[in-house]
Structure 1
């Protein structure tokens, strides 16, 4: 009987546990009606979000294909980031806006510090800055001091607040550092979406985006005309001046008192924001009578001058003023190159003297070229007039010139299995001036057997080769016999199916108008 008791209890507890689990699940999810309505609304919203996301994906191109085709192992092994999605962007913006308040708070405190809202704080910062400029090794101590004074001490004071004051007069709070903590620890929480801080962060984020856009446009309008070589004289002068300054600083940088420059410059920049100091120097300059017009009110259209020279008021005026100092001469001759084209001819039938003009190809189509080994036909055009200059270049000469020295480009390309024409040489060692066509033809795959008295033909064929008997007879007669390539070919060996010769022509780079601009995006620079 005792053996059956645990079994009956287990069987009785199974429906009870299932019922309790069902009740707990209903308590977590709420009533069935509310759960159904909530699921239907979520499905409705998700369908809308999905449709809108699909529409944006069709409009906005993705970079997944570019990253996949890049072939970089590090990119392939790195975790893939999620694609663009409207719900994800909305959720991330809410999270970001709820946590960006600390950045705007720091920005406000920095502005108050440099604008002399609290003079004691600004003066204290000047003392600290001056002390660090005189002793730069204290920069290693500064992060620890900021961590202790601005993070740890406020956190401890929050846990140990002073007792409530009982007197009516304002006195300094008394902090007790003995005993247990009296208050909970302070934690940084994101601003709720319905709070005023959340909307303040949205306002500050909106203003920061506008300020960044204005600053970006101002910097581009000032720096781009100086550095993008739209005005080559001005950009070249700046490049030359920067190169000279770099060389001089590389040699003399260790002699400059950098600490005193930072000390004087930093203090002068912060002190110039104090309105009292600005008024003092303005009055001093007015008394001297030199620069009273520098602080003229807005709306005054009179021309301001500095040491008798007008001060530029806009970036365009500053660029035009710098152009007067960029009086250097530039080489305006465009770059020149030599281009080549190969005239290919195909042997017709079994006759060695019949050749058909095939086409003009950028490659010589030699016996060991990859396209010929693969069985592909040569590519090119039929006539000289159809040959175009490379992109960005134009023809300088009007006609093509035949390259008669075929030995040079054959040996330079290490082409084997071909024969070419060379001028003959007399017995006295003087070159015979024969008209050579510059042809380079293929050698047959199976060369005929040579006689014992005939000189063997090498991979680079020479049609002026002669037998010993012919050389002996020429010496006896005192004459040097020459033969054209057809006779030599028929006498010594057969020719292949293709022959080619090289034509050259001079091109020069086209001048791009100075008004043309090129748009550069940061996404392109990142890739």
Structure 2
């Protein structure tokens, strides 16, 4: 195994990772056996093929018409992107791991720069950052300077190395920039799979995944209780504070000295990581007495002299003194309805109504259940009516809806008659009732032609024709002595002209409110109305 590859960018600041295997015999899918193969191999082994076939049987296939949440086709169905395959995954991981060293090398150098390993480098960073904060136009110069100093100058020095020093001379290396190049150009190449640099990349990739997982879990643990309204009072306080801050910043953001804020904040953050300054603040915290909180006092030691809550409950207790928010709003209210359906046997008097059922539907002549010949469904008594699932009764009793015209017109129900306030239906048995009834109209006893004519007059589409003394052939019209019906409202004329059918119903309403914890599922006969 090669010690290192000169042309590969790898983080070599940490020791070589040590592998521990539970069994002396390595499996075919272990990291050592996976990376012992050469990258030039194009054919997969028999084990990889068998395992790929097994995965194809376990993992469901993507449908061709699979769409995402936005309605577009999923990216996995694109013919340019290969489907999941174990040999492809293994090959891509080897390629990725051989080339990811530049990222870990950059990360390691940034950590060394911010940890004051070399104070001169960190101070240089502070000066550069300060100049950029004072004059943001220098950001346009920064990429070009990085290209010149960190990429092109080292590449030129690599092609013009100093002459080799002898054992007798103790002079410093002398770079000669005259004449032809003495060394080949440096090219960044991926780390070979048989080198130690490849396993260094695996080590750094493993630790990077662990760091990301820890940061992700810590972020969720801190911000989720504050923003997911599990504690509604705390989340409402934060929401109110963010709303006020948004409005204030939207108006006064242009007045803030952003250059000075970034200059002071960035320098303070970098200087606070210096070991001497960090020890200085720790001594101050220890002297003030905030170093170690007592048992049961959720106080953190991040800010000296200030008690910072360490848990969401403690933060809520601290924020209650700043804002008193009432989140106990009134629950949502709706109006439910139930229809009292009564039936009258054919041939009986119009006062012989019998209570039939309480149904969530009016059972009108054109309802699907009535056309299909089904009986109305519901319960026999008011006490058996239950509120919808997740709701509870607010009002104590049902109220009768006397304005039946509104819900009949709203549902566009035809073939029924109903009471109009201020109008008495003479000659019928409904004059002494409480009110709110909507009854069916029986079939018309008139002929078809007369029925069509009266219907036309009732809806007011056409005017009645004036009878003529003679017809077209000279005969007397049949309707000469027949009195034309007056163009009254159809609902008013219906009871007096046609009587009452076998079914009638009236509407009862009651107010319900949503429950915070829904009760167990029960059978309900009432439906939500417009409330």
TM-score range, shorter chain: 0.5 to 0.7
Indicate yes or no: 2:506 matched with 1:507.
no
Deviations 1:403-459 (A, max 9, x none): 221222334455566543312348xxxxx9973234265797997727999994239
Where do 1:460-471 residues align within 5 Å?
none
Where do 1:424-435 residues align within 5 Å?
424-425=422-423, 435=434
Q: Tell me how far apart the structure 1 counterparts of residues 305 and 282 of structure 2 sit (CA, whole Å).
A: 19
Q: Is the 8 A contact 2:299 2:309 kept in 1?
A: no
- Give the alignment partner of residue 407 of structure 1, picking from 405, 408, 414: 405
Post-superposition shift, 1:110?
Answer: 0.8
Q: Tell me how far apart the structure 2 counterparts of residues 238 and 39 of structure 1 sit (CA, whole Å).
A: 57
Q: Tell me how far apart the structure 1 counterparts of residues 376 and 172 of structure 2 sit (CA, whole Å).
A: 97
My pick for the range that moved more, 352-361 or 227-236, is 352-361
Post-superposition shift, 1:131?
Answer: 0.6
Q: Tell me how far apart the structure 2 counterparts of residues 65 and 442 of structure 1 sit (CA, whole Å).
A: 56
Where do 1:325-336 residues align within 5 Å?
325-336=322-333
Name 1:241's counterpart in structure 2.
Answer: 241
Name 1:79's counterpart in structure 2.
Answer: 78
Q: Tell me how far apart the structure 1 counterparts of residues 93 and 186 of structure 2 sit (CA, whole Å).
A: 25
Tell me the secondary structure at the aligned position of residue 457 of structure 1: helix
Q: Tell me how far apart the structure 1 counterparts of residues 64 and 337 of structure 2 sit (CA, whole Å).
A: 38
Deviations 1:465-514 (A, max 9, x none): xxx9999xxxxxxxxxxxxx9x964642477897654443322122149x
Q: Is the 8 A contact 1:97 1:201 kept in 2?
A: yes
Q: Is the 8 A contact 1:439 1:500 kept in 2?
A: yes
Q: Tell me how far apart the structure 2 counterparts of residues 264 and 120 of structure 1 sit (CA, whole Å).
A: 20
Cα distance change on mapping 1:393 and 1:189 into 2, 3 Å: farther
Q: Is the 8 A contact 1:397 1:506 kept in 2?
A: yes
Indicate yes or no: 2:167 matched with 1:169.
no
Structure 1 stretches lacking a partner, 5+ long: 1-37, 427-431, 461-467, 472-484, 514-527
Tell me the secondary structure at the aligned position of residue 264 of structure 2: helix
Post-superposition shift, 1:267?
Answer: 0.3
Q: Tell me how far apart the structure 2 counterparts of residues 282 and 71 of structure 1 sit (CA, whole Å).
A: 52
Q: Is the 8 A contact 1:335 1:509 kept in 2?
A: yes
Tell me the secondary structure at the aligned position of residue 194 of structure 1: coil
Q: Tell me how far apart the structure 2 counterparts of residues 303 and 449 of structure 1 sit (CA, whole Å).
A: 91
Name 2:251's counterpart in structure 1.
Answer: 251
Where do 1:85-100 residues align within 5 Å?
85-100=85-100
Indicate yes or no: 2:52 matched with 1:49.
yes
Name 1:189's counterpart in structure 2.
Answer: 189
Cα distance change on mapping 1:382 and 1:293 into 2, 3 Å: same
Name 1:26's counterpart in structure 2.
Answer: none
Cα distance change on mapping 1:500 and 1:326 into 2, 3 Å: same
Q: Is the 8 A contact 2:363 2:376 kept in 1?
A: no
Indicate yes or no: 2:418 matched with 1:420.
yes
Q: Tell me how far apart the structure 2 counterparts of residues 157 and 380 of structure 1 sit (CA, whole Å).
A: 95
Q: Tell me how far apart the structure 2 counterparts of residues 209 and 203 of structure 1 sit (CA, whole Å).
A: 10
My pick for the range that moved more, 318-327 or 502-511, is 318-327
My pick for the range that moved more, 342-351 or 154-163, is 342-351
Name 1:382's counterpart in structure 2.
Answer: 378
Name 1:518's counterpart in structure 2.
Answer: none
Number of residue pairs matched by the alignment: 437
Cα distance change on mapping 1:452 and 1:203 into 2, 3 Å: closer
Q: Is the 8 A contact 1:403 1:438 kept in 2?
A: no
Deviations 1:113-151 (A, max 9, x none): 110112121111111110110111222332233233323
Name 1:482's counterpart in structure 2.
Answer: none
Q: Is the 8 A contact 1:104 1:204 kept in 2?
A: yes
TM-score normalized by structure 1?
0.66
Cα distance change on mapping 1:308 and 1:171 into 2, 3 Å: closer
Q: Tell me how far apart the structure 2 counterparts of residues 413 and 451 of structure 1 sit (CA, whole Å).
A: 24
Post-superposition shift, 1:339?
Answer: 2.7
Tell me the secondary structure at the aligned position of residue 506 of structure 1: strand
Indicate yes or no: 2:453 matched with 1:439.
no
Q: Is the 8 A contact 1:343 1:360 kept in 2?
A: yes
Indicate yes or no: 2:213 matched with 1:216.
no
Post-superposition shift, 1:238?
Answer: 1.4
Tell me the secondary structure at the aligned position of residue 449 of structure 1: helix
CA RMSD of aligned residues (A): 4.9
Q: Is the 8 A contact 2:364 2:413 kept in 1?
A: no
Where do 1:17-32 residues align within 5 Å?
none
Post-superposition shift, 1:277?
Answer: 3.0
Q: Tell me how far apart the structure 2 counterparts of residues 50 and 172 of structure 1 sit (CA, whole Å).
A: 61
Name 1:25's counterpart in structure 2.
Answer: none
